[in-house]
Amino acid sequence: ETDKLLRGGNLATRSPFSPGHLYNLLDQHKKNATILTYEYRFGHVSKLYVSIGPDQVPIVYRSEYNVSFVGLEKLHPFDATKWRHVFQYLKDAGLVNEETVSKPNEATVEDLLLVHTKHGAGMSPPIAEIPPIAFVPNFLIQSCYLRPMRFQTGGSILAGKLALERGWAINIGGGFHHCSSNKGGGFCPYADITLLINFLLKYEQQHVKSAMIVDLDAHQGNGHEHDFLKHPNVYIFDMYNCGIYPRDVQAKNAIRRKVELYNLTQDTEYLHKVDRNLEESLGEFHPDILVYNAGTDILDGDRLGLMAISSERKIPIVMLTSGGYLKKTARIIADSILNLNQKGLISKKQTFSRHNE
C-alpha cells in the first residue's frame, strides 16, 4: 500500500500521514530492499539514493556501466569496458565483490531534469568524437552508450549520499566534467557532478550547504564550471593543462582556485602545486563535502593525499574516476584504490558520518 501511495504523486497532498512517516513505513516493510526515495518536482520519486548494508562498501559499480557499440567503439582508441576491468582488479585483490559492491540505479529522465533542461537531459546528445556513430540509429545510441552513462550518473549521485554516511565513497565511473546542465561534450553526456551536488543541497540540506570540487583531470572541467558560475556555496579548484581541450574562457570565471599547467610539467612541480593550492583552498573555504574528480591522466597511487586530508578534517569525500581510456587506465585506477586501502585511508568499516553528528 505504501508503494502505491508513493507512486501516486505528491505525498503531502495525497497522504493523511507525513512524508517522513511514510518513508519510515517503507523502511519497515522493505528493511533489506535498500531503496530510500526522495520526492521532488512534479511528484517524481527518485530511486537513486539506495541504502547499503553494513557488509557492503561505498565503492559504486555495476556491470551496466560498460559500453558496447556493436563494434563501433573499436574505431576509437579507448577502453570502452575499463570500468569492468577496474572492478575485476579490485575483486581479484579481495577488496570488493558482487555482494559487497554498492550497485546504483539508472538515472531517469525525471532525475536528470533536476538540473538539465529537457533537451539538455541528453536523450540524444551529439556523439561527435566518433563520427561513424552519427549515422547509428538513436535506439542503439540509447541502449549501447547513453544507458551505461545514465547508470554511471546514478552511481555518482549515490556516491554523494554514501560519502555522508561512511565518510568516503568511490564511483568507479562518472566524472563527466565537460557536461553542463544544457550542453554535453568530450564524451560527457550528463552533468553528474552538478547532479551529485544538487541532490545533496536539496535533499541533504541539514548536512550539506556547501561543496568543494577538486578537479585534477588533465582537462579543464568546464561543464560543472558553467553550472556553478554564480553559486557562492560551491568552490572549484581546477588544475589542468591549459594548452588542450576545452580552453573554455567563460567557464574559467567560476574557478576560485585556478592552476594552469603546461606540457612536460614534472612530477615534483605538479605535486608541490597540488599540495600548496589544496591547503590554501581549504583555508579559504570550509566545505561540507568534497567532490574529487581524479582523472587518471595524473593519478598515481593517490600521492596527492586528498583522501588523507579529507579524513583528517572529517570532510566527506566522493571520488570519481573521470577520464583516461587507454588500456592501462583500468590498472592505474584499481592500483590507486588498493593503495588507499593499504594506507588505511579508506576502510570497509564506517569511518565517520555527518548523519550522526
Q: For residues 44 and 9, which has the higher predicted lDDT (pLDDT)?
A: 44
Amino acid at 234: V
121 pLDDT band, cuts 50/70/90, is: low
Q: What percentage of residues in the chain have a pLDDT greater than 70?
A: 73
- Model confidence band, residue 15 (pLDDT cutoffs 50, 70, 90): very low
Contact, 90 vs 340, CB < 8 A? no
13 or 322: which carries more pLDDT confidence?
322
- What was the pLDDT predicted at 148? 94
Residue 4's pLDDT band, with cuts at 50, 70 and 90, is very low
Catalytic residue among 178, 219, 224, 226: 178
Most confident range, picked from 14-23, 31-40, 58-67, 325-334:
58-67
- Cα separation, 173 vs 169, whole angstroms: 12
Higher pLDDT pick, 352 / 3: 352
Contact 193, 176 (CB under 8 A): yes
> Phi and psi at residue 108, in whole multiples of 5°?
-90, 170
Res 156: pLDDT:
98
Has 286 been annotated as catalytic? no
Mean pLDDT of 225-246: 95
- Which of 45-54, 73-82, 329-338 shows the lowest mean pLDDT across its residues? 73-82
Q: Which of 57, 24, 51 is nearest to 36 (CA)?
A: 51
pLDDT at 214 over 70: yes
216-239 mean pLDDT: 96
The CATH number covering residue 294 comes to 3.40.800.20
- Asked whether residue 9 is domain-assigned, the answer is no
Would you say residue 17 lies in a domain? no
Give domain status of residue 224, yes or no.
Answer: yes
Q: How confident is the model at residue 85 (pLDDT cuts 50, 70, 90)?
A: very high
Q: Quick one: 290 exposed, middle or buried, by C-beta within 10 A (0-12, 13-18, 19+)?
A: buried
**45 versus 291: which is more confidently predicted?**
291
Question: Domain range holding 219?
Answer: 62-343
* pLDDT higher than threshold 90 for residue 103: yes
Domain count along the chain:
1
pLDDT, position 115: 93
What is the average per-residue pLDDT within 245-267?
A: 93
Report the percent of the chain where pLDDT is more than 90. Answer: 52
In a domain, 97, yes or no: yes
Residue 75 counted as domain residue? yes
- Average pLDDT score, the chain: 81
Instruction: Answer for the pair 119, 182: CB distance below 8 angstroms, yes or no.
Output: yes
pLDDT at position 72, please?
55
